[in-house]
Structure 1
Amino acid sequence: MLRAGFNGLYQLFYWLGGPKQHRVTFATMRSPELTDNLKVLHAKFVQDSDMDLKVFCYHYDRTLKSKIGFLLASVQALRLLARSEMFIIDDYFFPLYAINKHPNNQVVQLWHAIGSLKHFGLSLPTADDSVIKPHTNYDWVFINSEVDKPAYVAAFDIQPDHVLATGEPMMDTLMAQHPEPHAGAKRLLYSPTYRPDANGEAQVLHYIHELITASEQLKQPWEIYVSLHPYLSLPEWQLPKNVHIFQDATRVKQLMPTIDVFVTDYSSLSLNFSYFERPILLFTPDYEQYMAKNGFYVDYYHYLGAPHFDEAGALISFIAHDLDQLDLSYVHELKQKTFPHQDGHNAQRVFQFLMKQL
């Protein structure tokens, strides 16, 4: 029913006008504004082209209010898609998968994360459960490294020659940064991965609470920053003054050069952070469960080479007593694997290719 309705609306919008010449739309349903790849590439189009640029942003956070608004937002998105020569997205985009797309509405996927660590898209064990097959109708996919291509081909059901390893535009911003020394307390950034199952949100919040509680063991002053996935709800907790929980992809990128140690479970932000050659630690209390439910493209612990812990207390104890002696060769190796393009021209390569398609 939903497929028929969405497809009918798309076809109606298409036949009422069709794609407008030189119209390029940047669209996301993961945040209320353009971030990361979309933000950088949009700025490039503004600077170096005279395209008719449109922006569509909707923050779908899975609350009831968001679900109701999602239907209206989807109608708006389908209208923009039908009227655009090129439609550029950065994440799962449900309305797109419910339609029979016309070839002259080109769709570009600029996935919001780099690398190929954990399974995503059609590689997920639950992908076949979807009534409407996700991650379809992509014409072009841009990735960070050639070694990631098999994962993206599998995740997005797309021909290999339409997956282009140009380097991701948002990496240009990262490479313009340098590790920044700072006075005062040391800084820890914790970025837990989103878990989509029914108990996923409670599970993530439990791990955050464990880490915050364990951090009270630290005798030296530390500022603890927790980056919460955009699909989760911010908890209403009474936090210690040195603990900061937020949902802001831009703030994460701004903080990274100042962070002394990065902690995650399965987030690809570990790859981003390797650029600064500072310690990366893994807090993975549900590793076996996550591997069974989600899975990885790589031998996860071996690929990252980072110390890993299944208890928050052990993690914090390591930070307190052993962090200063940690050999960072594993971080240096990870950086070399992750960043084959370090010239700061990723956005330019993507922009030039897309302009040739218009």
Structure 2
Amino acid sequence: MGNLKEIKLKTLKFIYNTSYQFCYYVCRPRPKRVTFATMRNAKLVDNLKQLYDTFEENGDYELKAFCFHYDRSWKSRLLFFWYSLMSVYYVATSHLFIIDDYFFPLYSLKKHRKNVVIQTWHAIGTLKKFGLSLPNAQKSVIKPHTNYDWVVVNTEADRQAYADAFDIENSHILPLGQPMLDTVSKSSINLPPNHKKKLLYSPTYRSNDSKKVLTAVNDMIKATASLKEDWEIYISIHPYVNMKSNLPKLPKNVHLFQDPALVKKIMPKVDVFITDYSSLLLNFSYFERPILLFTPDYQDYSQEQGFYVDYFNYLHAPSFKQTSSLMTFINEDLSHVDLDYVRQLKQKNFPNQDGHNSDRVYNFLTSINRYGEQRL
């Protein structure tokens, strides 16, 4: 089985790279083409959407959006090969190729310098490990997270972790602030009086283990029935989780969705955010409202994934192993919880609150010539 997988990967690497070289020499890179590409969503969201809009408003560029939602279903797996071939054409013909996540076909290429790749990543901060920081990540036939020319990060403190995760020189990591936080920083911290209370739960994605995520979701849905007040419950599922089956029957006050754009849209209206290890909690810290941790599998997750920080000591957030104790806390203690821990997270993760992160990234990227060198 191992040899078969290796042959498959080597074959894909050959096909993708051959296609890329053909497109590069025949179609040629276009100095004004900027492609925004993702394989986690069917449309541009977050950093890519914010940057796309900034390019559209400020410059004379040929803008392309390449979107494919890979959810690990069989249909998605079959389409993946075709969309990967399409993507290498856009890499070959674009001056700037901007992504927000893992992008498999890119790692198969012997990339030319005229094609400049920028990784914006889809999360802020450095909580759980990712990329090449993960155990055994560098042992793959196709080494992931290669061919990045520049990486955009949120703060100066993030640089070393991203350098390790993407095996890139520290000098090519840009602490300009994440563009998607521009929208957050323009939102109101205060909720309107007499509003209906809203709870947002966002469990972390587990590679090849959608069952564990759906089990946690089912447990949370059942537990929320014990809440004493009238809550609207929103549950955000990671876009890579296959939700075609095993969908629970939802009470009227529970809203289950799989849309990264929607989760960011409802955050300003949410009273309390619950997660296990999602970096979305850092985004939510801007609003200075309670963040709670539901971490029944912390020991296993810590061994399998690992963290860049001492997780609980870094966050200082109330944490729970059982949904029953979590609901008891919400019923009895949430209204008078000390939010200093949230304000400290906000101070660490929102150094720029001027709403101009996207402008800073745009100004840098438009200072790069077609050979991938910054004009001084």
Query: TM-score category by the smaller chain?
Result: over 0.9
Partner Cα distance (1:185, 1:34) in 2 = 30
The answer to whether residue 62 in structure 2 is matched with residue 58 in structure 1 is no
Which deviates more from structure 2 when the two are superposed, residues 177-186 or residues 335-344? 177-186
| Contact 1:182–1:258 (Cα < 8 Å) also in 2 | no
| CA apart distance, 1:182 | 5.9
State the distance in 1 between where 2:68 and 2:247 align.
23
Q: Distance in 2 between matches of 1:65 and 1:183?
A: 46
Q: Which residue of structure 2 aligns with residue 9 of structure 1?
A: 19
TM-superposed CA distance for 1:129, in Å, is 3.8
The TM-score, its normalising length taken from structure 1, stands at: 0.98
Q: Which amino acid aligns with 2:171?
A: D
Provide the C-alpha distance between the structure 2 equivalents of 1:33 and 1:182, rounded to a whole number of angstroms: 34
Aligned to 1:240: 251
Q: Alignment partner of 2:256: what SS?
A: strand
Q: Which residue of 2 aligns with 1:152?
A: 162
Whether 2:166 is the aligned partner of 1:167: answer: no
Q: Could you report, residue by residue, the CA deviation over 1:273-322 in whole angstroms, capped at 9, with x for unpaired residues? A: 00000000000000000000000000000111100001111111100111
Structure 1 position 230 matched with structure 2 position 239: yes
Q: C-alpha separation between the residues in 1 aligned to 2:136 and 2:214?
A: 23
Q: Which runs of 5+ in 1 are unaligned?
A: none
Instruction: Report the counterpart of residue 366 of structure 2 in structure 1.
Output: 355
**Any runs of at least 4 consecutive aligned residues in structure 1 with deviations exceeding 4 A, and if so which?**
none
User: Once the two structures are superposed, what CA deviation does each residue of 1:45-79 show, in whole Å capped at 9, x if it has no partner?
Assistant: 00000011111000011111001101000111001
1:42 aligned to 2:37?
Answer: no
CA distance in 1, matches of 2:259, 2:136: 28
- Structure 1 residues 1-358: aligned runs within 5 Å: 1-179=11-189, 180-181=191-192, 183-197=194-208, 200-234=209-243, 235-358=246-369
Offset at residue 184 of structure 1 (A) = 4.9
- The whole-number CA distance in structure 1 between the counterparts of 2:98 and 2:319 is 37
> Percent identity over the alignment?
54
Q: Normalising by the residue count of structure 2, what TM-score does the alignment of the two structures yield?
A: 0.93
Aligned residues: 356
For the 8 Å contact 1:227–1:245, the answer to whether it is kept is: yes
What is the alpha-carbon root mean square deviation over aligned residues? 1.0
Task: Note if contact 1:23-1:85 (Cα within 8 Å) is conserved in structure 2.
Answer: yes
Provide the secondary structure at the position in 1 that maps to 2:367: helix
Q: Aligned with 1:174: secondary structure? A: helix
Moved more, 286-295 or 51-60: 51-60
Matched-pair contact (CA < 8 Å) for 1:87–1:105: yes
CA–CA distance in structure 2, aligned partners of residues 118 and 281 of structure 1: 17
Which structure 2 segments of 5+ residues have no match?
Answer: 1-10, 370-376
Take 1:42 and 1:323, find their aligned partners in 2: how far apart are those partners?
Answer: 39
Contact 2:124–2:178 (CA under 8 A) maintained in structure 1: yes
